[in-house]
Amino acid sequence: MKHFTTLAAILLSCSLEASLSLVCLPAKNDGNWITSTMAAYLDIDGYSNRSVRTCSSGDCDEVDNFKYCKSPQPKFIIKSIGKEGDTFVVSNRCNSGFKKFNIIGEQNEEQSFLFEEKMSYQIKHQMWASTNFVTQPVLELLKKEDHYELIIQDFIEDLWQIEWEREDIDISLFTVEEENADTYSTVCVSEKNFISVEHLKSFLKNK
């Protein structure tokens, strides 16, 4: 019984160490052509710089600025869930929602590629012909000594981490051409080490 209790304590300890809960700073950006899916992770004022037509027929000369991020929060979280440690929830700083992400490829403590769950499922099962989909950015986590670097990037073909066993795989509809892809970088810290947004910004200065 004593050995069982000790083993259970070790397993619980390993499980807790494997879990990850990060507080992240929105990434700086140039403000040009920011998509609504990127807005959740970028330091924006809440407004798109794109003009969109609001009429569906007739004369569409009038255009409006489309507000897709009503109350941007100063930070967002990335948190692992489940026993396997390969599933994450990421909060949307534009609203109170969350998106679920999966690690694609081998799990690595130093570097992880997170793909939005629905998009990765559609890619794996080639569900693009008759299914509505929206390409989501890929989140790349890089472990540093006292924090994490988070790279938020458009999905280009080279980011897919799985070797295909089928010959009829096509991911081109999900990807952005490398020369047109946007990449943004920011920092995250463990939730237990989070002090304030201003303190989090100090990690950017030391990059």
- Domain definitions of the chain by residue range: 20-27+72-205
Task: Give the residue-averaged pLDDT of 32-36.
Answer: 76
The confidence score (pLDDT) of residue 13 equals 34
User: What is the SS3 assignment for 120?
Assistant: helix
Cα dihedral 112, 143, 184, 41, rounded to 10, equals 80
Does residue 73 or residue 17 have the better pLDDT? 73
Read off the pLDDT of residues 164-195 as tens digits, 9 standing for 90 and up: 777 777 888 789 999 999 999 999 999 999 99
List Cβ<8 Å contacts ≥24 apart for 57-63. Answer: none
* Residues 6 or more apart whose Cβ sits within 8 Å of residue 37: 134, 135, 136, 137
CB 160 within 8 A of CB 169: no
pLDDT (0 to 100) of residue 54: 52
Q: In this prediction, what percent of the chain has a pLDDT beyond 70? A: 74
Q: Give the H or E element holding residue 22.
A: strand 21-24
- The mean of the pLDDT values for the chain is 79
Query: How confident is the model over 58-65, as a mean pLDDT?
Result: 47
pLDDT-above-90 percentage for the chain: 41
- The closest of 132, 131, 141, 135 to 116, measured between CA atoms, is 135
Residue 1 has pLDDT above 60, yes or no: no
Which residue, 49, 55, 98, is CA-closest to 73? 98
Instruction: Please answer whether residues 54 and 67 qualify as being in contact, where contact means their C-beta atoms are separated by less than 8 angstroms.
Output: no
Higher pLDDT, 5 or 43: 43
> Do 108 and 117 form a contact (C-beta atoms < 8 A)?
no
- Can you tell me whether residue 15 is helix, strand or coil? helix
Residue 64: both structure tokens together: 């409006």
CB neighbour list of residue 176: distance below 8 Å, 6 or more residues apart? 135, 154, 155, 156
Long-range contacts of 101-105 (CB under 8 A, 24+ apart): 101/139, 104/160, 104/161, 104/162, 105/161, 105/162
Give this prediction's pTM. 0.80
For residue 137, the model assigns a pLDDT of 95
Integer CA distances (angstroms), 121 to 30, 101, 141, 185, 194, in order: 31, 10, 20, 26, 33
Confidence of residue 74 (pLDDT cuts 50, 70, 90): very high
Using CA atoms, how far residue 40 sits from 75, 99, 127, in Å, is 10, 10, 25
